[in-house]
Structure 1
Amino acid sequence: MSPSTSVKLAKKLVEQLWKHLAEPQSTYQLPEEAVFSNSIAFFGPQPIGELSGISTLFDEVYRPLANTFPVVHRKEYLFLGGEFEGGTWVVSAGEFVGEMQAPYLGIPASKQPVKMRFGEFYKIENERIVEIRCLFDILGLAAQAGYPLLPAFEGRSEVAPGPALDNGLCYNDKEPNESRKTLELVEDMLGGCNRLKGSKLASMGMADFWHEDMVWHGPWGVGSCYGFREFQEFAQGPSVASFPGRTGGYHQARIADGLTSAFTGWPSLKGHFTGKPFRGFQPTHGAIGMNIMDFYVRRDDKLHENWVLIDLIEFGQQCGVDLLDKLPSSTSTALENA
């Protein structure tokens, strides 16, 4: 089987996986178990963490979601596929839109419409899903339910929208040369990030890779930035000030498809927390890593849009802080309600 055929089949498999939730007000039905390997490996956000096996995946991920969002719209706005280091990956990102009818991971049920961002990387072998890497914006969900667990931030706090030009869904084959151009641009940008000298933003040369009217959507607690100046001031600036000399590119998957690209790493970014406080966390003066997902859309010869999910709950644990301890102690977790 040629690589292109493998990617094409893998994309079709994942596209069909959640087709039943693709419309507003869909009843949350569990996906078909047959498409998953019995020994599937799942890497998720804290407090879910790493899981193994199809039964555990359904019991600790999908059934709790069905319990919390019995009627939901899984609104997908990014979808792409590709190969990385001999593996076939399919990537999906978007938001769950629905009323929160039961607690989730300790967050009390709001009984109100909410949106929860998601990012998912599926590894496919022999037409089965053998690995999933997944992040939810759990802190964003908590904030919408009335429990902001991080201090105020400079970025814009609205839930991130999808691509401005509605060009992030690559269900069909894209021109290989365009995919190659996008991947090379993203990898060149990563190379720039890794030229960081101390906390000097200019040392990375980011203006070479981003449009001036770029849009950057971080997780709740960081927020969205519109324009290169906001991006440097509210997103990259605070990060390099907290983690001088940080490096990235430690990826389990990194692909491009047409104008889109995505990567993830556990952790994706490494450094030492020796600088300024970060999002309410105090410096540990030790090594840190961040589990991150990045999704991009290119416009012409530069990057235009970037969606980022970071497991800040897991990062907090590295700093000795359990953010979910701030939630009401009487609330049962969604795992207990499954």
Structure 2
Amino acid sequence: MDFQSEKRLVRDYYAALDSAEGPMIEDVMTRFVADDYIWRGYHPFHEQTSGQDVARVFWQPFRQAFTRMQRRMDIFIAGKNEMDGFQSTWVISMGHLMGIFKKPWLGIPPTGKIGIMRYCEFNKLEDGKITETAMFFDIPMVMMQAGLQPFPPQTGTHMVQPGPMTHTGLCFDPQDPLEGEKTLAAINFMIGDIRDWKDREPEGLEIELPRSWNDDMIWWGPAGIGASYTIDGYIRGHSGPFRDGLGDMTFNGHLCRLAEGEFGGFFGWPNLTILPEGGFMGMPATGKYSDMRVIDMYRRDGDKLTENWIFIDLLHFWNQQGVDILARTTKDAQP
């Protein structure tokens, strides 16, 4: 399959959604999404079960705050979902939503300047309608642009993250299916190697990671953790602190995993259930388990992965630990 009709439907949906204003956004959602629609979003939005609810709860308030919005896509791919035996078709879009941050949003004071929010969206297509969406977006990134500090200092670097170094992520045209198979195989090898690390003799990340990653890898992490470059930088900037600060961990699986061309990704709801042992992201141990909802997007170079864009619902994760990051950080903020 070349997925051209599915890609066209999602691009038409974006064109209509991004140009609509106010109540017209609900009309767009009604036109493009199914009656039994499921939308999975970042805290504090969580699950919504109709297009109208998504419009009222997320899109309309966001668009009122961020005027003249542009969708600046870096990756656009489609494929069959490995998690259901390659039966369903999904279209993935990743990039930034950009506008002029004119009004408060979620208690975050406006800057009156350009505001940018990373996003990644998985859309399931059935019978000419969008039936499921997972849309994760980096709210802490917006908070930091407004001068707020939701987390202690990061182990990685905070920035507006670029798209693929090759500038080949917008796969509007059909792709070589063999390249997609190679990418999915590389992603699956990496997942399996991570899941097996606790059952192996201690070997160290310096030995483990080069099996899956090129040495010049880039890990584009969420605001609060930040980005890291090279395997050594990734060990220092995220993977080392992650394993040191998080204890008992259960892998819950993914709802969707696919690849097209040299790009691929997955999401779970939740991916992981983790018991923090203290220190991760500067937070103390609480003795409570927390779910981690994650979207990962990848670029493969050769036989290994080389770029990785990560979306983690950190607000939800820490809220389960008893810390309402959003409320705590915005309570004294003045618009």
TM-score, normalization by structure 2: 0.90
SS at match of 1:66: helix
Q: 1:21–1:74: 8 Å Cα contact kept in structure 2?
A: no
Output the CA distance in 2 between the equivalents of 1:47 and 1:16: 28
| Equivalent position of 2:100 in the other structure | 99
Whether the 8 Å contact between 1:72 and 1:96 is mirrored in structure 2 is yes
Asked if the contact 2:149/2:329 (under 8 Å) is kept, the reply is no
Give yes or no for the alignment of 1:158 onto 2:176: no
1:15 corresponds to 2:11: yes
**Cα shift at 1:332:** 10
| 1:39 counterpart = 2:36 | yes
Report how far residue 146 of structure 1 moved.
Answer: 1.0
Q: Name the CA distance, whole Å, in 1 between partners of 2:248 and 2:100.
A: 42
Q: Hey, what does 1:336 align to over in structure 2? A: none
How does 1:308-327 map onto structure 2 within 5 Å?
308-327=310-329
| Selected match of 1:263 from 266, 270, 273 | 266
User: Deviations for 1:140-167, whole angstroms, at most 9, x for unmatched residues?
Assistant: 1000011111011121111211111101
Report whether the alignment pairs 1:60 with 2:63. Answer: no
Tell me the residue number matched to 1:70. 67
Runs (5+) with no aligned partner, structure 1 = 334-338
Letter matched to residue 135 of structure 1? F
Q: 2:205 and 2:218 mapped to 1: Cα distance? A: 19
Asked whether 1:184 is paired with 2:180, we answer: no
Match of residue 255 from structure 2? 252
Counterpart amino acid of 1:116?
Answer: M
Q: Distance in 1 between the 2:165 and 2:206 partners? A: 30
- Write the letter of the residue equivalent to 1:67: Q
**Structure 2 residue ranges without an equivalent (≥5):** none
The root-mean-square deviation of aligned C-alpha atoms, in Å, is 2.3
Determine the structure 2 residue equivalent to 1:143.
Answer: 144
Matched residues in 1 for 2:282 and 2:192: separation? 29
2:7 counterpart letter in structure 1: K
How far apart in 2 are the matches of 1:327 and 1:115? 19
* Contact 1:83-1:89 within 8 A present in 2 as well: yes
**Conserved 8 A contact 2:296-2:308:** yes
Task: State the shift of 1:235 in Å.
Answer: 1.0
Deviation at 1:328, TM superposition (A): 3.9
Mapped contact 2:66–2:115 kept (Cα < 8 A) = no
- SS of equivalent to 1:239: helix
In 2, Cα distance between the equivalents of 1:330 and 1:227? Answer: 39
Name the aligned partner's letter for residue 325 of structure 1: A
Query: Structure 1, residues 162-187: CA drift from partner, whole Å, max 9, x if none?
Result: 11110111112111111001001100
CA 1:88 to 1:132, structure 2 compared with 1: closer, same or farther past 3 Å?
A: same
Offset, 1:253 = 0.5
Shift of 1:242: 1.7
**Alignment partner of 1:266: what SS?**
coil
The change in CA–CA distance for 1:165 and 1:331 in structure 2 (over 3 A counts) is same
Paired with 1:250 and 1:171, the residues of 2 have a C-alpha distance of 29
The aligned amino acid for 2:279 is P
Mapped contact 2:267–2:293 kept (Cα < 8 A): yes
Note the alpha carbon deviations across 1:90-138, whole angstroms, 9 max, x for none: 1111001221011111211111112110011111111101111111100
**Contact 1:255–1:263 (CA under 8 A) maintained in structure 2:** yes
Counterpart of 1:149, as a letter, is P
Q: What's the CA shift for 1:49?
A: 1.1
C-alpha separation in 2, matches of 1:153 and 1:41: 33
Amino acid corresponding to residue 40 of structure 2 in structure 1: F
Cα offset for 1:245? 5.4
Q: Judge conservation of contact 2:184–2:264 (CA < 8 Å) in 1.
A: yes
Runs of 4+ in structure 1 deviating by more than 6 angstroms, as ranges, are 330-333
Q: Distance in 2 between matches of 1:99 and 1:305?
A: 29
The TM-score normalised by the length of structure 1 is 0.90
Structure 2 Cα separation of the partners of residues 77 and 256 of structure 1: 15
Shift of 1:284: 2.6
Q: Is the 8 A contact 2:289 2:321 kept in 1?
A: no
Change (3 A) 1:144 1:200: farther
| Amino-acid identity (%) | 30
Give the counterpart letter for 2:68 in structure 1: V
Conservation of the 8 A alpha-carbon contact between 1:210 and 1:302: yes
8 Å contact from structure 1 (residues 106, 327) kept in 2: no
Aligned-partner residue type, residue 235 of structure 2: Q
